[in-house]
């Protein structure tokens, strides 16, 4: 069953590149990735709010390993949580194993234990590990204390929030070049200055407006089309802001619930 789940869920998304993260806010993280490339570090832990580009970065890192003729695989626990936990038992042949959405297993001791064993096996096989979550490892309310200890041993970096214009501009220009898209400068500037600051939300807006220009030559773009694009950016930005408010409200509610219930640790001795 694990092999079937692997074939269904674990494809690398190739539309990502480390060049997307050439802005100044990403320099320390990209430097750590270079250390990962040459084996100076064996693990890397990234954290930050939703839609800040963590998943895109994990895909880019995996793609960079593949370009170096190494094997890499990217897992989203958000997608795998309802599948067979044994999916984690057959990954040791990959040079890099990237695991996204760690917070999803906060209440699932079975998946926590499976991840703990994966880390141990990967260390024995000298495989490299990459983690991403919405909070630092020290703030994950995992019951399995030994798993938290393993995660805390990885160099940890908070991803930029996207508030730096230079970070957003570097990512936008990189994506446009790679995809061969050409937008009117007014649209690109408006997206950068008035669109969502979070990288994930900005990319969603970019994907939303691109079809408006897919059949138009650059010289055929009218003022009306540009106006429609700007209004679409406004509408999608508002939707992203409302989603952020809802997410923050959910986080506050989860924190309140956590305060009302004591957390019990579950050590494993190996």
Tens-place pLDDT, residues 234-247 = 999 998 888 878 76
pLDDT at 255: 52
The verdict on 31 and 125 lying in the same domain is yes
The verdict on 185 and 144 lying in the same domain is no
Q: Is residue 118 part of a domain?
A: yes
Q: Is residue 100 part of a domain?
A: yes
Residue of higher predicted confidence among 134 and 260:
134
Q: Is residue 105 part of a domain?
A: yes
pLDDT tens track for 107-116:
999 999 999 9
Number of domains in the chain: 2
Distance of CA 32 to the CA centre of its chain: 16
The verdict on 152 and 41 lying in the same domain is yes
Nearest-angstrom CA–CA distance, 67 and 24: 24
Three-point CA angle 89, 73, 148, nearest 5°: 60
Q: Name the domain boundary from 125, 158, 191.
A: 158
Mean pLDDT of the chain: 86
pLDDT tens track for 41-91:
999 999 999 889 999 999 999 999 999 999 999 999 999 999 999 989 888
Q: Is residue 13 part of a domain?
A: no
pLDDT at 52: 92
Rounded to a whole number of angstroms, the distance between the first and last alpha carbons of the chain is 27
Q: Which domain holds residue 74?
A: 18-158
The verdict on 222 and 139 lying in the same domain is no
CATH code of the domain containing 124: 3.40.50.300
The verdict on 114 and 38 lying in the same domain is yes
The verdict on 30 and 152 lying in the same domain is yes
Nearest-angstrom CA–CA distance, 231 and 247: 24
Q: Is residue 259 part of a domain?
A: no
The verdict on 36 and 140 lying in the same domain is yes
The verdict on 32 and 84 lying in the same domain is yes
- pTM tops 0.85, yes or no: no
pLDDT at 270: 46
């Amino acid at each position: 069953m694990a092999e079937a789940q692997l074939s269904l869920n674990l494809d690398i998304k190739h539309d990502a590149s480390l060049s997307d993260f050439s802005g100044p806010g990403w320099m320390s993280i990209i430097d750590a990735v270079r250390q990962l490339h040459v084996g100076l570090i064996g693990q890397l832990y990234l954290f930050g709010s939703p839609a800040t580009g963590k998943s895109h970065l994990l895909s880019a890192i995996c793609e960079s390993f593949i370009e170096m003729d190494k094997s890499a695989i990217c897992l989203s626990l958000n997608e795998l949580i309802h599948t067979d936990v044994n999916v984690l038992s057959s990954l040791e042949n990959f040079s890099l194993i990237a695991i996204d959405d760690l917070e999803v297993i906060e209440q699932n001791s079975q998946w926590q234990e499976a991840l703990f064993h994966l880390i141990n096996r990967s260390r024995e096989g000298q495989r490299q590990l990459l983690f991403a979550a919405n909070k630092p490892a020290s703030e994950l309310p995992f019951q399995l204390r030994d798993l938290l200890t393993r995660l805390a041993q990885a160099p940890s970096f908070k991803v930029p929030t996207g508030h730096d214009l230079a970070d957003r501009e570097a990512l936008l220009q990189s994506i446009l070049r790679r995809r061969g898209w050409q937008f009117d400068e007014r649209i690109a500037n408006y997206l950068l200055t008035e669109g969502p600051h979070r990288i994930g939300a900005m990319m969603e807006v970019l994907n939303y407006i691109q079809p408006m220009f897919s059949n138009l030559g650059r010289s055929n773009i009218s003022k009306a089309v540009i106006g429609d694009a700007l209004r679409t950016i406004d509408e999608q930005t508002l939707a992203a802001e409302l989603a952020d408010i809802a997410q923050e409200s959910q986080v506050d509610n989860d924190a309140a619930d956590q305060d009302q219930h004591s957390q019990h640790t579950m050590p494993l001795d190996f």
